[in-house]
């Protein structure tokens, strides 16, 4: 993987939100390089700026300082080479499952036949064949995230930006979606940035885990996870590695009390 | 992973509703007939449902009622159509522009507080006892509800839909047409429905003052001829037209939106 091209280059990127009477620094200047095909987990408590970082990469917001470079072009706005997934699957309730998955293809101007075929293929790949004509509200939370995954991948982006997409799901559903995400990732070799506040989820999924400190967000530490795949939350190796990460975090917590309190569950 | 449906339950609920309605309205008719026959009021002032029903049927068979209804419907179609075009455009503009919202937006909220029939005297002064005066009052009745429904729907589009859509490649016009408008649809339809209800009321009030044949005018004629049965029969007809439009146009739209979005359609 050493020779893989750089998918994402973040140099001195920071974000300060200016409100009426005060400004809040969400992200201190951050440097980060992600290789193509890499699965990177951003780990941190809510409000540590990791979601902000995803929005900056997605181009939904502009950084206060620094430059985000995706592929070989600087990010100046949203682009379908970087697709974001949200905790709320953000499916469009006025569209069916099939139409939701076709949505990005339609924006890209693909023909009706291509749209239908591509959407059907991805709906099958996330195991929702038979639900093409279902309305969004008829689906469970896990099924909605599957549709969101199909919708994101249908447009064939280079990068998936996942903002706690499984955060609201029950443990069993979450576990299954981990497996499927890992499988899809292995098959497609997309670059994935996955935001979570769950240490074990981060260890189970990531090639690399970046730990963020809260308020203002900065990268506190980095762990390379070299465990064999496919992994599961129950693997002894994953559990051991999680404990290792937690130990380091606890050390950091003692060094800077208060900073990480209540950060990880 | 299965989708549960409970057709049996839904059917039973519909049956119960239907039974309740039939019993309720039958009871009203019976009480009405009994009161009418009791002689508390003179029967020419308070006719029973049988007399009113016969008047209604006669009026329809003679063609006068249908003719009047067609004239009123034609007026409202034109007036409501104008309101629809104006209201959708103004609502969409206000929702996207804070200057327009601060100015025209507050004006609309203010004017919405004025029952549209209050415009009638001015309309007659300006335009005479003409079709245009009636159209003006209808538009004043429907326009503001439609503007506010469109504005609120667009303004309250959940930001996450816009984020997700931009992220998936939607921009400018397509973002508007494929995401913001559909997301606003429930509120837009509510505004259209309220606009229709106000327009219908305004039209009936306006027609009371006009001399050419129309539903509202038939009410006035009934009064002039001391014909309470005729007045009541026309009132029935006005209700019937209002309910029919709702059932044929708004109820199906609301049902479709409800089914798709997953909330129970507004009851009819």
Q: Is residue B41 part of a domain?
A: no
- Report the CATH number at residue B200: 1.10.3720.10
pLDDT value for A117: 95
Q: Is residue B27 part of a domain?
A: no
CB A83 within 8 A of CB A161: yes
pLDDT value for A93: 93
pLDDT value for B75: 95
Q: Is residue B77 part of a domain?
A: yes
Distance from CA of A175 to the nearest CA of B (A): 16
Nearest CB partner across the interface for A107, out of B168, B185, B260: B168
Which residues in chain A are contacts of B163 at CB distance < 8 A?
Answer: 60, 84, 86, 90
Nearest CB partner across the interface for A60, out of B167, B259, B261: B167
pLDDT tens digits in sequence order for chain B, 268 residues long: 445 545 555 666 788 899 999 999 999 999 999 999 998 988 889 999 999 999 999 999 999 999 999 999 999 999 999 999 999 999 999 998 899 999 999 999 999 999 998 999 999 999 998 999 999 999 999 999 999 999 999 999 999 999 999 999 998 889 999 999 999 999 999 999 999 999 999 999 999 888 889 999 999 999 999 899 999 999 999 999 999 999 999 999 998 888 888 764 333 3
Number of A:B CB contacts under 8 A?
A: 72
Which residues in chain B are contacts of A57 at CB distance < 8 A?
Answer: none
pLDDT one-digit tens code per residue, A197-247: 889 999 999 999 998 887 777 888 889 999 888 888 888 999 999 998 888
Asked if A170 has any chain B CB less than 8 Å from its own CB, the reply is no
CB A125 within 8 A of CB A186: no
Domain that holds residue B161: 63-261
pLDDT value for B11: 67
Burial profile B115-139: b = 16 or more Cβ within 10 angstroms, e = fewer: ebbebbeebbeeeeeebebbbbbbb
Which A residues in the span 194-223 are in contact with B, Cβ-Cβ below 8 Å?
Answer: none
CA distance A110 to A107: 8
pLDDT one-digit tens code per residue, A126-139: 999 999 999 999 99
Which residues in chain B are contacts of A104 at CB distance < 8 A?
Answer: 168-169
CB B200 within 8 A of CB B142: no
Which residues in chain A are contacts of B165 at CB distance < 8 A?
Answer: 92, 103
Asked if A246 has any chain B CB less than 8 Å from its own CB, the reply is no
The percentage of residues in chain A with a pLDDT greater than 70, rounded to a whole number, is 93
Confidence of residue A25 (pLDDT cuts 50, 70, 90): confident
Q: Is residue B29 part of a domain?
A: no
Opening angle at CA B186, ends B196 and A103, nearest 5: 135
Q: Is residue A260 over pLDDT 80?
A: no
Closest-approach residue (CA) in chain B for A78: B167
Whether residue B168 and residue A90 make contact (CB cut-off 8 A), yes or no, is no
Q: Is residue B226 part of a domain?
A: yes
CB A210 within 8 A of CB A40: yes
pLDDT value for A51: 86
Nearest CB partner across the interface for A107, out of B3, B170, B262: B170
Whether residue B168 and residue A104 make contact (CB cut-off 8 A), yes or no, is yes
Q: Closest Cα partner for B196 from B149, B265, B151?
A: B149
CA distance B167 to B162: 8
Q: Is residue B138 part of a domain?
A: yes
Q: Is residue B21 part of a domain?
A: no
Which residues in chain A are contacts of B166 at CB distance < 8 A?
Answer: 60, 78
Which residues in chain B are contacts of A87 at CB distance < 8 A?
Answer: none
The percentage of residues in chain A with a pLDDT greater than 90, rounded to a whole number, is 54
Q: Which domains does chain A have, with CATH numbers?
A: 1-81+158-166+192-255 (3.40.50.300), 86-156 (no CATH)
Nearest CB partner across the interface for B160, out of A88, A140, A143: A88
Residues of chain B that touch chain A, judged by Cβ-Cβ distance less than 8 Å: 1, 3, 160-161, 163-171, 174, 178-179, 182-183, 185, 257, 259-263
Distance from CA of A59 to the nearest CA of B (A): 8
Whether residue B165 and residue A103 make contact (CB cut-off 8 A), yes or no, is yes
Q: Is residue B208 part of a domain?
A: yes
Q: What percent of the residues of chain B are helix, what percent strand, and what percent coil, each to the nearest 5?
A: 80, 0, 20
Q: Is residue A195 over pLDDT 50?
A: yes
Q: Is residue A1 over pLDDT 50?
A: no
pLDDT one-digit tens code per residue, A105-120: 999 999 999 999 999 9
The number of distinct structural domains making up chain B is 1
pLDDT value for A214: 74
**Mean of pLDDT values over A40-58:** 87
Which residues in chain B are contacts of A152 at CB distance < 8 A?
Answer: 168
């Amino acid at each position: 993987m050493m020779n893989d091209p750089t998918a994402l280059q973040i140099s001195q990127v920071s974000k300060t939100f200016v409100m009426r009477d005060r400004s809040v620094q969400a992200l201190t200047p951050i440097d980060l390089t992600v290789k193509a095909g890499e699965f990177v987990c951003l780990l941190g408590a809510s409000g540590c700026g990791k979601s902000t970082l995803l929005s900056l990469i997605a181009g939904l917001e502009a950084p206060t300082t620094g430059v985000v470079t995706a592929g070989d072009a600087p990010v100046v706005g949203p682009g379908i080479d970087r697709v974001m997934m949200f905790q709320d699957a953000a499916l469009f309730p006025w569209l069916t499952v099939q139409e939701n998955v076709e949505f990005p293809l339609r924006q890209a101007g693909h023909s009706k036949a291509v749209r239908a075929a591509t959407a059907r293929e991805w709906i099958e790949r996330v195991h929702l064949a038979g639900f093409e004509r279902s309305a969004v509200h008829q689906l469970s939370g896990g099924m909605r995230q599957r549709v969101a995954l199909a919708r994101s991948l249908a447009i064939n982006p280079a990068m998936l930006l996942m903002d706690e997409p499984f955060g609201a799901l029950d443990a069993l559903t979450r576990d299954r979606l981990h497996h499927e995400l890992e499988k899809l990732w292995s098959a497609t070799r997309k670059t994935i940035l996955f935001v979570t506040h769950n240490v074990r989820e981060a260890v189970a999924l990531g090639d690399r885990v970046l730990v963020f400190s809260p308020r203002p967000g900065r990268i506190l530490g980095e762990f390379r996870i070299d465990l064999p795949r496919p992994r599961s939350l129950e693997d002894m190796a994953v559990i051991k590695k999680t404990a290792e990460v937690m130990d380091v975090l606890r050390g950091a917590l003692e060094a800077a009390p208060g900073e990480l309190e209540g950060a990880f569950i | 992973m299965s989708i549960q449906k409970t057709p049996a339950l839904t059917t039973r609920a519909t049956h119960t509703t239907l039974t309740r309605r039939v019993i309720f309205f039958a009871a009203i008719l019976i009480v009405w007939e009994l009161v009418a026959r009791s002689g508390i009021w003179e029967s020419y002032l308070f006719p029973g449902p049988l007399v009113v029903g016969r008047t209604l049927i006669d009026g329809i068979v003679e063609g006068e009622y249908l003719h009047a209804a067609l004239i009123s419907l034609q007026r409202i179609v034109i007036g409501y159509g104008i309101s629809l075009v104006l209201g959708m455009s103004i609502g969409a503009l206000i929702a996207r522009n804070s200057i327009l919202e601060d100015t025209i937006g507050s004006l609309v909220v203010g004017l919405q507080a004025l029952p549209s029939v209050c415009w009638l005297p001015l309309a007659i002064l300006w335009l005479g006892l003409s079709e245009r005066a009636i159209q003006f009052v209808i538009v004043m009745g429907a326009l503001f509800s439609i503007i506010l429904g469109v504005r609120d729907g667009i303004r309250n589009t959940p930001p996450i839909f816009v984020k997700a859509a931009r992220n998936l490649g939607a921009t400018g016009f397509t973002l508007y047409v494929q995401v913001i408008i559909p997301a606003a649809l429930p509120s837009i339809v509510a505004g259209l429905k309220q606009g229709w209800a106000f327009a219908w009321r305004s039209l009936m009030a306006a027609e009371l003052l006009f001399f050419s044949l129309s539903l509202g005018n038939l009410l006035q004629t009934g009064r002039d001829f001391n014909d309470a049965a005729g007045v009541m029969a026309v009132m029935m007809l006005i209700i019937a037209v209002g309910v029919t439009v709702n059932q044929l146009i708004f109820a199906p739209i609301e049902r479709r939106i409800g089914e798709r979005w997953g909330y129970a359609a507004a009851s009819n």
